Amino acid sequence: MFSDVTYKIRFTLLLVPFSTFCHGWTTFDPQCTAPNESTNFVASAEVRGTMDIVWSCLSVLILCVWSIHHFCVPNFVKNESSSQGNWMKKALLANIKKLNWSLLAILAPEYIFAKALAEKLAAHYSYKQFQEHRQHGWSDWTITHAYFANMRGFVMRFNTRAVPMSLIPSKPDKLALSRQWPQQHSDVTYFEQDVNGSIEIERRQCREICGDPCQNRDGLASEKGSTIKTEHYLDAHKTWQGYWALSASQMLYACQQGIIAGPPAITVEELKDYSKSDIFVKVMAIVQITWLVVQILARVTQNLAVTLLEITVLAFAAVMIATYLLLLGKPQDVHVATLVDARGQLNREQVIGLAARSPQSTLFVHGFWLHGVAVRTMSDNVFPYSPSFSIKLPWMTRTHHLDTVIMGMGFGGAIFGSVHCAAWNAEFPTSVERLLWRISCIVLIALPPVSVFTYDLVRYIFEARFKTNSKAKHYLKPIGYSTAPVYLLARLYLLVETFRSLAYLSPSAFQAVSWSSIVPHL
């Protein structure tokens, strides 16, 4: 009686949420006798338990999503404290940040893939641009330099006369967002902001930040009594020093305009030395992925059941491997930026030109104000500028440009869904669940490309008819609201079914591979 109660208590925590769906909860405890006397070698039992399957899969998944991230260099702060407490706090925050992005990689691996694709194309685009200026001696710029710039690796130190402010990025207000409209099909990613409009914005900021003492400085009249001329208005502010992390596109513009003397004199070897990439973790992830693939192939050859959890983890691994390949050459875990000094004071026109080459927009943006100009900054959730894919089909009257990020998410989602099709004829608890699995796989494969095609078709129609696609977003919102829930529902079903099926595995799923019958054939 005591033994029966013990078996019922030993529920696997992972399967408890799904135990209510079982007709009868049963367990099996394999018994293996030990050798009667000392022996030199004992072969492993050709059986595996449920938790063996779970932990072997989770180890592959955790290693993949933990080692895939290449974060930006932390924001440069002058005279930052280096105390032990501050170091521990930064280390804790860094691990929390890595954990959050690892969870995002599990929930949306196609987003991580799209980000890596955009970064790769942006680095190649910057490399080609610098190679076109070899006559200036800029041929030492490499793809690694472009990666480093787009991850906030190069920080320009400059002097300016503007409203005193902090250049630490924060969430921009509505006015800042409204002044950063995309510029299509150009090396400039945003419309250049109006000079007169930026002057008025800086006047307003001066009233809010500086107050009356700034308005009356040096005997200047207050705006209530007379109009302050632009040159006098700028003279009202003292010269102060700021720091600005330049992206690869902004670095090229700064070199062309003479804002800085040229690209930083730093070699690829030095950049790689800055990188603190954990090679051991990456190698272990690759070894674990390889071992998972070998096990799946071996089970197929011996007609042993492959669990849905193994197929799902293999799908994650496929997307992560593709992401690994895209990020080759990008430094990882760099914590110190390289300073580049500006040649003179930074004026309003130069700020506008640099701001026009800001990174691309996402739902989560960071920026700051300088000379009344809204500046978008690089961050881990903001994509660097990358050229779009250009196509011209026979029925098109003009060349159309496909958005890199949208294309990357569609392609990454298709990879993720395609691997799940390996379980097309797998064993399921019911035939309905098998049908839903197949439908979900089709949704994951077909919906991203269809959504990308619809998105670009609507943009093309508006560009051809109205010479702009700014109105297209009103028609694209209903499409997004209708397709996103379907895609998320399909992903959710695959996740739930993956763990639910662990309670209904066939006996052959618990049988281990007989390597003795495979190794001689190899």
Q: Are residues 456 and 474 in the same domain?
A: yes
Domain range for 432 is 279-330+388-510
105 located within any domain:
no
- Give yes or no: residues 352 and 392 share one domain: no
Decide: helix, strand or coil at residue 159.
strand
Same domain, 231 and 247: yes
- Picking from 376, 408, 440, the residue at the C-terminal end of a domain is 376
* Closest-CA residue to 119 (of 329, 317, 315): 329
Confidence of residue 260 (pLDDT cuts 50, 70, 90): very high
Looking at the domain assignment, is residue 423 inside a domain?
A: yes
| 197 within domain boundaries | yes
The helix (run of H) or strand (run of E) holding residue 160 is strand 154-160
Q: In Å, how far from its chain's centre is CA 96?
A: 16
Beta strands 338-345 and 367-370, pairing class:
unpaired
Do 355 and 309 belong together in one domain? no
What pLDDT was estimated at residue 220?
39
Same domain, 321 and 414: yes
Q: Are residues 158 and 197 in the same domain?
A: yes
3-state secondary structure labels for all residues of 50-97: HHHHHHHHHHHHHHHHHHCCCCCCCCCCCCCCCCHHHHHHHHHHHHHH
**Predicted local confidence at residue 234, as pLDDT:** 56
Kindly report which listed range (102-111, 169-178, 182-191, 206-215) carries the lowest average pLDDT score: 182-191
The DSSP call for residue 139 is T
Lowest mean pLDDT among 5-9, 100-104, 480-484, 508-512: 5-9
Same domain, 170 and 239: yes
Domain count of the fold of the chain: 2
pTM above threshold 0.85: no
Residues 325-370 have pLDDT tens digits of 898 888 888 888 889 999 988 888 899 889 888 876 555 667 888 8
Do 297 and 250 share a domain, yes or no?
A: no
Q: In sequence order, what DSSP letters do the residues of 289-312 get, joined into one string? A: HHHHHHHHHHHHHTT----HHHHH
The amino acid occupying position 132 is: E
**Whole-angstrom Cα distance, residue 341 to residue 12?**
60
Instruction: Give backbone dihedrals phi and psi of 399, rounded to 5 degrees, phi first.
Output: -70, 135
Is the domain of 237 the same as that of 159?
Answer: yes
Q: Is there a single domain that holds both residue 303 and residue 253?
A: no
Decide if 461 is inside a domain. yes
What per-residue confidence (pLDDT) applies to 5? 40
Q: Which residues contact 355 (CB under 8 A, 6 or more apart)?
A: 190, 192, 193, 370, 373, 374, 375, 376
pLDDT interval class at 511 (50, 70, 90): confident
Listing DSSP states for 413-433 in one string gives HHHHHHHHGGGTT---SSHHH
- Inside any domain, residue 97: no
Separation of CA 211 from chain center: 41
Query: How large is the average pLDDT for residues 375-400?
Result: 68
C-alpha R_g of the chain: 29
Locus of tokens 């062309």: 256
Q: Is the dihedral of CA 145, 146, 147, 150 positive or negative?
A: positive
Q: Is 425 among the domain residues? A: yes
Same domain, 313 and 443: yes
Query: Quick one: which of 18, 77, 50, 24 has its CA closest to 307?
Result: 50
Angle, alpha carbons 392-398-404 (nearest 5°): 55
Beta strands 373-376 and 338-345, pairing class: unpaired
Q: Which of 321, 343, 376 is the last residue in one of the domains?
A: 376
The token pair that represents 450 in the structure block: 């269809």
Residue 46 lies in a domain: no
Q: Is residue 519 part of a domain?
A: no
Three-state secondary-structure class, residue 190: strand
Region 250-264 average pLDDT:
90
Q: Where are the alpha helices (DSSP H) in 342-471?
A: 348-355, 404-420, 431-466
Same-domain pairing of 451 and 425: yes
Give the tens place of pLDDT for each residue, 426-462: 888 899 999 999 999 999 888 877 877 777 677 667 6
